[in-house]
Amino acid sequence: MASFEQHIAWRYLFSKKGHNAINIVSGVSAAAVAVVTAAMVCVLSVMNGFGSLVEQMFSEFDPVLMVTCAEGQTFRTDTLPVQQLYRLDGIATVSEQLEQTALIRYKEHQLPARVMGVDSLFTATAHIDSIISDGYYSVWDGAFDRCVLGRGLASQIGINAHFTGALHLYAPERTGRINMLRPDLSLRHEHAFIAGTFAVNQLEYDDQLMLVSLPLARRLFDYDSCTVSALRIQPAEGMKTKRIKAQIIKILGKGYRVQDRYEQQADFFRILRIEKLLTMLLMVFILLIASFNIIGSLSMLIIDKSEDIRILSHLGADEETIRRLFRWEGWMISSLGAIGGLIIGVLVCLGQQHFGWLKLGDGTDYVISAYPVEVQAADIVLVAAIVLALGLVAAWYPTRKLKIER
């Protein structure tokens, strides 16, 4: 049941004021709060949409869990902890990879690239077929070594999936002394024929990465059959990633690093969180400015209702009761704006999701044609809490020194 102060504040909110300007200012105050609230919902939802889009891109290539060594570039799979990992219940696939930098050359073009050797289980830990942009995925056809390049890397080297010439790969000898007279003799050389190109739509993959067979990578970088740079882990269906990760950490110990998809791209997601925080702070600052309208509206209402204040005081209302009355009035103005803004913001976001009103350019040069949107309940709760909290402050400020003149 509404209290005495709430009942009076509700009547003041919708009743005609002594001066029409007060009604206008009150309406403008609620509208300003609604507009900023809706903008906060839309901006945060668009940032969520971009985050989910990029996360999906990474998930097409990155494994659910990645095991690397804490120090150094490579480790051996014939050690006892790693052998226990292969037999761990709850893991569907363990794929081996060996990745290092090499020089690649095609005719007169040459440039450094990240050469990743993968085994036959690689396709069980990455949706590689879904990101092939030209040709097909193959690193060994039964007779020849083949390779799959990032789309940007293939463009830089001047090759595509339909070329028949071999790509040459060079890496320095890991052991022995370099012949200063013939440094070319200190390079290991392999070659592979291109099978296709892929596109993750991230520069670190598309412009730098080349997939080859694991045996070719081991020959090129001079490693034996038990040496890898990482293990790609695919948990069994229905198994929780956190649980499997905890079990792997317990088995391997501190000498290894176990990362989920978020940790594998920690820098990107950290930047995304910082951008979202800064955007939220900027929108809160704009909301703070909009809240000054509530302060002005409430101050004018207090002046307009000075006769009512005197009557209420004669009826027994003390100063604190009168203050609470007008604080409720200011908070109700803010609440109406918040509710209206949340409804408008959610409806706009849902409309963007289904109809794609706002386009990204002409829709041909981007991964998607329209701005991605993802409404999250946590953002709605956060926005509502911030708006209502600022509404309380805006309602408190003009009433803090309210005095009753008898």
Do both 282 and 205 map to the same domain?
Answer: no
Of 2-11, 84-93, 351-360, which gets the smallest average pLDDT? Answer: 2-11
Using CB atoms within 10 Å of the CB of residue 277, give its burial: 0 to 12 exposed, 13 to 18 middle, 19+ buried.
exposed
| Confidence tier at 362 by pLDDT (50, 70, 90) | low
- Looking at 204, 229, 263, which one is the last position of a domain? 263
Triad 45, 51, 56: Cα angle to 5° = 125
Q: Domain ends where: 263, 282, 308?
A: 263
Q: Is the pLDDT of residue 335 over 80?
A: yes
Q: Tokens 């955007």, residue? A: 279
Query: What's the pLDDT band for 338 if we cut at 50, 70, 90?
Result: very high
Number of Cβ atoms within 10 Å of the Cβ of 378: 9
2 pLDDT more than 90: no
**Residue 54 covered by a domain:** yes
- Tell me, yes or no, whether 106 lies in a domain: yes
For residue 74, pLDDT over 90 is answered with yes
CA–CA distances in Å: residue 159 to residues 63, 149, 195, 288: 28, 10, 11, 56
Name the β-bridge partners of 170.
103, 189
pLDDT of the residue at 394: 87
Residue 224 forms part of a structural domain: yes
Say whether both 256 and 276 belong to one domain: no
Rounded-to-integer distance, Cα 34 and Cα 286, Å = 12
In order, the DSSP letters of 37-103 are HHHHHHHHHHHHHHHHHHHHHHHTTS-SEEEEESSSS-EESSSHHHHHHHT-TTEEEEEEEEEEEEE
Residue 364: what pLDDT? 57
Q: Domain for residue 406, yes or no?
A: no
In total, the chain counts a number of residues equal to 406
Residue 214 has pLDDT above 70, yes or no: yes
Query: What is the pLDDT confidence band of residue 374, given thresholds at 50, 70 and 90?
Result: very high
Residues 22 and 127 in one domain: no
In a domain, 405, yes or no: no
- pLDDT for 1: 45
- CA 92 to chain centroid, in Å, comes to 27
Dist. CA 266–CA 261, nearest whole Å: 8
Are both 195 and 249 inside the same structural domain?
yes
Q: Which of 7-11, 120-124, 324-328 is the most confident on average?
A: 120-124
Q: Tens digits of per-residue pLDDT, 239-258?
A: 899 999 999 999 998 889 99
What range does the domain containing 249 cover?
Answer: 65-263
The number of domains in the chain is 2
Can you give 222-291 as a three-state secondary structure string?
Answer: CCCCCEECEEEEEECCCCCHHHHHHHHHHHHHHHEEEEEHHHHCHHHHHHHHHHHHHHHHHHHHHHHHHH
Q: How many CA within 13 A on the CB side of residue 321?
A: 14
Phi, psi angle pair for 271, to nearest 5°: -60, -40
3-state secondary structure labels for all residues of 289-336? HHHHHHHHHHHHHHHHCHHHHHHHHHCCCCHHHHHHHHHHHHHHHHHH
The pLDDT, as a whole number, for residue 182 is 65
Mean pLDDT (the chain) is: 88
pLDDT for position 301: 79
The larger pLDDT score, comparing residue 170 to residue 317, is at 170
Distance (Å, whole) CA 291 – CA 294:
5
Contact 244, 90 (CB under 8 A): yes
pLDDT confidence of 109, banded at 50, 70, 90? very high
- Give per-residue pLDDT as tens, 341-358: 999 999 999 999 988 888
pLDDT > 90: what percent of the chain?
58
Q: What 3-state class would DSSP assign to 189?
A: strand
Asked whether residue 203 falls in the same domain as residue 315, the answer is: no
Q: Give the residue with greater pLDDT, 362 vs 32.
A: 32
Q: pLDDT digits over 119-166, tens only?
A: 999 999 999 999 999 999 999 999 999 999 999 999 999 999 999 899
39 plus 80 within the same structural domain: no
pLDDT, residue 250, reads 93
What is the pairing mode between strands 230-235 and 132-135? unpaired
Clarify whether residues 21 and 74 are in a common domain: no
- Determine the pLDDT at residue 178: 67
Single-letter code of the amino acid located at 130: S
Q: Residue 16 has what pLDDT? A: 60
Query: Within this chain, do residues 16 and 119 fall inside the same structural domain, yes or no?
Result: no
pLDDT at residue 331, as a whole number: 86
End-to-end CA distance of the chain: 31
Whether residue 134 is found in the same domain as residue 204: yes
Q: How many CA atoms lie within 13 A of 170 on its CB side?
A: 12
pLDDT of 304 higher than 90: no
Residue 20 pLDDT > 80, yes or no?
no
Q: Distance between CA 406 and CA 398 in Å, rounded?
A: 20
Token pair listed for 40: 């906060």
Spatial distance between the Cα atoms of 54 and 368, rounded to a whole number of angstroms: 11
pLDDT higher than 60, residue 230 = yes
| Same-domain pairing of 258 and 273 | no
In a domain, 404, yes or no: no
State which of 238, 263, 288 marks the end of a domain. Answer: 263
- Is 122 part of a structural domain of the chain? yes
In a shared domain, residues 102 and 81: yes
Q: Is 261 exposed, middle or buried (0-12, 13-18, 19+ CB in 10 A)?
A: middle
What is the rounded distance in angstroms from the CA atom of residue 179 to the CA atom of residue 182?
Answer: 5
- Do 53 and 73 lie in one domain? The reply is no
